[in-house]
Amino acid sequence: MDTILENEILKVTIHSFGAEIGSIVSKKDGCEYIWNADEKYWKRSAPVLFPIVGSLKNKEFIYEGKAYPMGQHGFARDMEFALQSASDTEARFSLASNEEIYAKYPFRFTLSIGYVLNGNSLKVIWKVENEDTKNMYFSIGGHPAFMCPLNGKGKQTDYYLSFDTEKDLTYSLLSKNGLVEKEDLVLSTHGGMLPVDAHMFDRDALIIEGRQASVVSICSAEKQPYLTVKFDAPLFGLWSPAGKQAPFICIEPWYGRCDKESFAGTLEEREYGNILAPQEVFEKDYEIIINNA
């Protein structure tokens, strides 16, 4: 089921499956900003990553001496969410733990995803409620894919990424297992404006840790931002399918990260993991701004 949010500037489509953004269209010119999930490149548009971000060492986590298998990015993106409320400009979806989920992720919880449309901005709100009697360990993140080139104009290498810092960024790369392997590589941002290179994503995602930036924009050939993502997450990823020259770039705010190749710990020991005490609530958000809508 789809839910439509709409104001005088934007029309947004949210799918109940995965509570995933399916479309952001400018009413000014009909321009689409979200990737259309064409399986030729990638079958998703903007999945929510929960209860893990990325991949686990040996594709499992260890909790209280038991191994729990789990695939990349967890299970929320592949589940139907219930629509809790909707208006012209706001919608809230929820996913509640059940016995099937509990068998593979041993915590009682409710995950709520909210969307608020305000002018040329869409705010994405994550809310995790621990309904268990023990601490809950989890990660959560976004994976929105934005059109680049925009509206079929030019080549991707005509475009730029800009950051709210003029410093170079350090980043990590993944192994063939999807785990952090190479660290402390340097991304020269040329004073905050980075040309999109044809080989930028040859080794999969770029993982940028340590709150080095909190605003990332995709810019036109004229270096003007047409889409901006604002967040307060401790790390984020930049991604497009390796070697495919796919016409989109993902800007991904994360509260969590894949394991390192060297990791040998338990769920409680995972880096960037979040701990939520019984009956407590974790709530974070990020914002997608359409600059030229």
The predicted pLDDT at position 16 comes to 98
Tokens of 173: 């790369």
Distance CA(238)–CA(204), nearest Å, equals 9
The predicted pLDDT at position 243 comes to 83
Phi and psi at residue 103, to the nearest 5°? -65, -30
Q: Which residues contact 16 (CB under 8 A, 6 or more apart)?
A: 1, 2, 3, 80, 81, 82, 83, 93
The predicted pLDDT at position 183 comes to 92
The predicted pLDDT at position 208 comes to 98
The predicted pLDDT at position 53 comes to 98
Looking at this protein, which amino acid is placed at residue 66? K
| pTM of the predicted model as reported, rounded to 2 decimal places | 0.97
Q: Which residue has the tokens 């010119």?
A: 29
pLDDT in tens, the chain (293 residues): 999 999 999 999 999 999 999 999 999 999 999 999 999 999 999 999 999 999 999 999 999 999 999 999 999 999 999 999 999 999 999 999 999 999 999 999 999 999 999 999 999 999 999 999 999 999 999 999 999 999 988 999 999 999 999 999 999 999 999 999 999 999 999 899 999 999 999 989 999 999 999 999 999 999 999 999 999 999 999 999 988 889 999 999 999 999 999 999 999 999 999 999 999 999 999 999 999 88
Beta-bridge mates of residue 185: 171
Looking at this protein, which amino acid is placed at residue 182? K
* Helix, strand, coil tally for the chain in percent (to 5): 5, 45, 45
CB atoms under 10 Å from CB of 182, counted, come to 13
Max Cα distance, the chain (Å): 56
Distance CA(82)–CA(129), nearest Å, equals 16
Could you tell me the end-to-end alpha-carbon distance of the chain, in angstroms, rounded to an integer?
A: 26
The predicted pLDDT at position 244 comes to 85
- Rg (alpha carbons) of the chain, rounded to whole number: 19
Structural domains present in the chain: 2-260+274-290 (2.70.98.10)
The predicted pLDDT at position 216 comes to 98
Give the pLDDT confidence of 39-90 residue by residue, as tens digits: 999 999 999 999 999 999 999 999 999 999 999 999 999 999 999 999 999 9
The predicted pLDDT at position 293 comes to 83
Give SS3 for 103.
helix
Q: Cα 31 from chain centroid?
A: 22
Task: Decide if 79 contacts 95 (C-beta within 8 A).
Answer: yes
Distance CA(173)–CA(120), nearest Å, equals 33
